[in-house]
C-alpha cells in the first residue's frame, strides 16, 4: 500500500509540474507596441553601418600604429563586416530608388 501512495504522490507532483510548465508556456498578452517609422528604421540601419565602418577604421589604425592586442585577423574581419554591411545598405538604396522610379512611371 505504501508504494501505491508514493506512486499517487509522484503522479500528483508530475501533474502539478506539468500545469506549472503549461502556465509558463502561454504567451502573455503583449501591450500594443507602436510600429516604428520606416525612416527611423532606415536611419538606424545607416547608423549601424556607420558605426561598423568607424570601428573597422579605428581597429585598422590601431594595428597600423602597432598597438598591442590588435591582431591582423581582427582587422580583416572588421573590414569585411564593414564592407558587407555597406554593400547591403547600397543594395537596399538601389531597390528603393528603383521602386520609386517604378511608381513615378505608373500611369495615373
Please write the tens of the pLDDT for every residue from 55-91.
Answer: 999 999 999 998 888 889 999 999 999 999 999 999 9
Q: What is the pTM of this model?
A: 0.61
Say how far apart CA 104 and CA 108 lie, in whole Å: 9
Q: Contact 75/63 with Cβ under 8 angstroms? A: yes
81 CB-contact burial (10 Å; exposed 0-12 / middle 13-18 / buried 19+) = middle
| Res 53: pLDDT | 95
Half-sphere exposure of 53 (CA within 13 A, CB side): 12
Torsion of CA 25, 29, 30, 32, to 10 degrees: 160
Report helix angle 72-104 to 38-64, nearest 10: 150
Amino acid at each position: 500500500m505504501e508504494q501505491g501512495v508514493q506512486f499517487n504522490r509522484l503522479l500528483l507532483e508530475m501533474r502539478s509540474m506539468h500545469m506549472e510548465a503549461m502556465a509558463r508556456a502561454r504567451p502573455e498578452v503583449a501591450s500594443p507596441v507602436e510600429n516604428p517609422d520606416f525612416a527611423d528604421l532606415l536611419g538606424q540601419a545607416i547608423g549601424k553601418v556607420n558605426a561598423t565602418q568607424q570601428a573597422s577604421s579605428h581597429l585598422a589604425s590601431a594595428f597600423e600604429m602597432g598597438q598591442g592586442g590588435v591582431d591582423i585577423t581582427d582587422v580583416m574581419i572588421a573590414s569585411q563586416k564593414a564592407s558587407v554591411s555597406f554593400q547591403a545598405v547600397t543594395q537596399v538604396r538601389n531597390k528603393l530608388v528603383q521602386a520609386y522610379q517604378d511608381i513615378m512611371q505608373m500611369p495615373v
